[in-house]
Amino acid sequence: MRIRIKFLTFLIGFLVFLPFFCFYIGNFLSINEEDYLDEEYEVLKSVELISVEQTTKSKLKPKPDNIISKSVLIGYSNADNLTIFSSFTGPKGTTVILSSYGYLNRRVYCRLFDANKKEIYQKAVSVFPEFTIKCSEDASLRPAYVAVTINKKDIPRNMKRMLSQETKTTTSQKKSELTVCLAPLFGESPKVLMLIEFIEYYKLQGADNFLIYSFQSTQETEHLLNFYRNSSSSTNMEIIRIGNETKCLNRHRCRHEMQLQDCVFRNQYKAEWVVTVDLDERIMPIDEDSTLLSLTRKRRNSKISELRFRCQWTLRYSDVSPGPPQIKNLPMIVWHNTSHVAPQNHTTKSIIRPENVDSMGVHGVQKFSDPKFIVELIEPKIAVVRHYRYVEGWSFFLKEAESFGEFFKFDLSPSLSSRIVKQMSFQVSVAVNDAPLQKITVTPSTTIGDLHSDAILVWKDMAIVYDVTEGNGNGPATTLEQLGVNSLSMIYVYTTSFPCPSGDIRSIVPAQVRLITQFASAASNLFNQAKTTAPSSSSNQNARTSQQADDGDDGSIKTMFSRKVLEKPSMLKALTENMFFRLKNEAHKLAFQLPDLVERFTQNKDQTYKEFEAFFRSYIEEEVHKEEIIQNNPNSAEAKMFLEARRNKELINEQYVHSMTHHPEDMIAVTMLYINLTINGVPVKAFIDSGAQKSIMSMACAERCNLNGLIDRRFQSMARGVGGLEKIEGKIHLCDVKVEDAHFSCPFEVMNRREMDLLIGLNVLRKHGCCINFKTSRLEFGNGTSTPFLQSHEIDSHLKEIMALPEEEMHIDEAGPSS
């Protein structure tokens, strides 16, 4: 009897706690679903195929064979608030796209309103497929607004204006033949270059309309999108913003699936075919003379509503470099290591007829509007998806990709790559006849004649690149690509109307170039380099010859990293002698091409030629070894490390060139801040140092100003600063300092410092409310007094006076004395 009672007690307790346990498990799975559900792959619903190719079985996680079923696991308490992303009304009735997670198969009330926001229709419907509500099939309703509520008597709080869909199009609104829907942009990584390549590639494939979904983008990306949207080209672009008001919109996979449903219904009556791809995916015909548009035009069977393409991965070992986009860094041109084609229905991508689709998945149609519509599997020999996958964080994917078959090197044909490059538009700075520089949009195929029909002379950055008097074949049809112009270039154009008193047009030097040359000359003096001057008519030819010689050295440097040089003693000997001479006499020039070599050489500058010979051979062998690892095993960790180091060096050099061209003043030491003041009638030059905690007076200055008797030697201590430890001899508590016509009371620590008379530190600056005004180059006091900072020549003469050193030793460190 007791056993029965215990059993019944246990059974009742189990039944009481079972609902709570199920509720907890449902919420747990909804919160941690990304750990249990595959982020990249999904099993597609069975569809009728017209390809005779046998479907390849792939190892996928087991899932129910239905349409996007994962939301049924979500507890209702964890679902988003009902939020409408978009809504459409047209010949097939009214459809709503939710941006809320957790409502699949749940009943909600769809409520329609007229233009006066008066409710005209209400119906209980289920959310099916995911994110989609088919409110009404009555095309005659024509609502102006829509709202969705949990209960039919709830007050609508998410009312949304309807987007009207029309089957008839006007001449100005011609139906798109091929529209591209781009998966939502997000993240801070540089996207400008990939976005340009993406848009220009699909334009070449026949796309005439783009839907760009943007969840998060940088300012540079926004500028690019606005440029395309406002351009006068025949390609239309619509930018659709995605907010972050729901949990779904803050999850990449969720907002991607929602975006796909929006893309389908937004284009149902606007586009014949729609491409659904990510930013790093290119659906590419194998015959590069063919296009995706020609591929779709051949599909005359109206039942074919999806073209499904199998995938190949081309591996990217580094992300796109930040900074101005460079055409040479285009992923389609730079990266080549490509996988074997993946099995059927494994990460495929599609081109669809949106009018016949009810639900779209990341890798294929989930549900057609009628069972008669079918999928055509495109054979890999006709076209594939090339996914330019950045490999960081995807090591698990690489192992799976290797199981498909051997990787191979894929190169775009010169024809296609040149067409892509010619489509690339970018901005350059152009000045005509010394007018202010203006940003203009160009392409590599833009000609000199396009810049100005009367151009006779063109400078690019610091050199002449176009001269009509040279007779070298250059003319108005010369393209910017031929002149080596990129987005970093500054172009100076001179026309027949520009005055040239000497009669030699090559004597014309842009005002900006003269300024840059002056800066470069100052920088050269500072670093004890050879002095340079602006090119003149007599020196231009020499400058160009020197530049050509440097270009030749570039070629030699590239060829010396090869096994051929090591195997030919005569070639190696000549290269070694040349490099030894250059490192001994002009290492500062070589440092821009081979910084590692110069750095290692400077560690033992006094080595003999014999010692250098062994050192240099070892260096070449190291570089050859690196190149061979990159070529033979590009997937290895060592190769990736070498590639990343190379990319970093290239980026550093690009930034240096950009800095020298656009910000040459950054290469010159900043003039430190000094002011004139008077103490006890003695003129003193004071160094302003907001980084110093206390103000300091030298013992020599105290003696000149007759303040020796006011030094309180009880305050002797040690001061720690940039130069190490220094002894403080004492303190002057109250010192009358005259600046202009005003008097200020200042305390000073007294030290035996030779390189300065007086240092005004933070304690005095804060006490008197001082402001360092760089715009007016003055020190301003809180009482309205202001005094100018000294010029560099005044500072140098002052330092020479107090330190009694030769002039060449007068330059103090940029950091300045600081305590």
Query: So which residues are the catalytic ones?
Result: 689
Name the helix (H) or strand (E) containing 29.
helix 2-31
Residue 250, SS3 per DSSP:
helix
Name the helix (H) or strand (E) containing 801.
helix 792-803
Main-chain dihedrals φ then ψ at residue 720, nearest 5 degrees:
-105, 125
Name the helix (H) or strand (E) containing 217.
none
**Partners of residue 26 on adjacent β-strands:** none
> Could you write out the DSSP letters of every residue in 374-393?
EEEEEPTTTEEEEEEEE-TT
Q: Which residue has the tokens 């000497």?
A: 502
Distance (Å, whole) CA 782 – CA 465? 55
Neighbours of 271 (CB within 10 A): 24
Measured between alpha carbons, how far apart are the two ends of the chain, in Å?
91
C-alpha 118, offset from chain centre: 48
> Could you write out the DSSP letters of every residue in 131-172?
TEEEEE--TT---SEEEEESSTTSPP---EEPEE--SS--ST
* H-helix segments, 391-488: 395-402, 414-423, 448-451
CA angle 441, 443, 446 (to 5 degrees): 100
Name the helix (H) or strand (E) containing 231.
none
Distance (Å, whole) CA 229 – CA 238? 7
**Partners of residue 464 on adjacent β-strands:** 459
Distance (Å, whole) CA 477 – CA 397? 48
Q: What is the DSSP letter of 43?
A: P
643: left (phi over 0), alpha (psi -120 to 50) or beta: alpha
* H-helix segments, 603-738: 609-632, 637-662, 699-704
Count of all residues that appear for the chain in the document: 819
Distance (Å, whole) CA 184 – CA 279? 9
Closest CA to 737 of 795, 687, 684, 802: 684
β-bridge pairing 455-460 and 463-467? antiparallel
Asked if 172 and 301 touch (Cβ cutoff 8 Å), the reply is: no
**Partners of residue 163 on adjacent β-strands:** 88
Take residue 398 and report the two structure tokens written for it. 């690489």
Q: Which residue has the tokens 């290119």?
A: 282
Residue partners of 776: CB distance under 8 A and separation at least 6: 786
Distance (Å, whole) CA 729 – CA 707? 13
Alpha carbon separation from 658 to 382, 486, 547, 587 (Å, rounded) = 44, 11, 18, 22
Torsion of CA 647, 648, 651, 653, to 10 degrees: -110
Distance (Å, whole) CA 347 – CA 349? 7
Torsion of CA 476, 478, 481, 483, to 10 degrees: -100
Asked if 144 and 175 touch (Cβ cutoff 8 Å), the reply is: no
Distance (Å, whole) CA 14 – CA 250? 38
Distance (Å, whole) CA 80 – CA 499? 70
Name the helix (H) or strand (E) containing 816.
none
Asked if 100 and 87 touch (Cβ cutoff 8 Å), the reply is: no
Handedness of CA 552, 557, 562, 567 (dihedral sign): positive
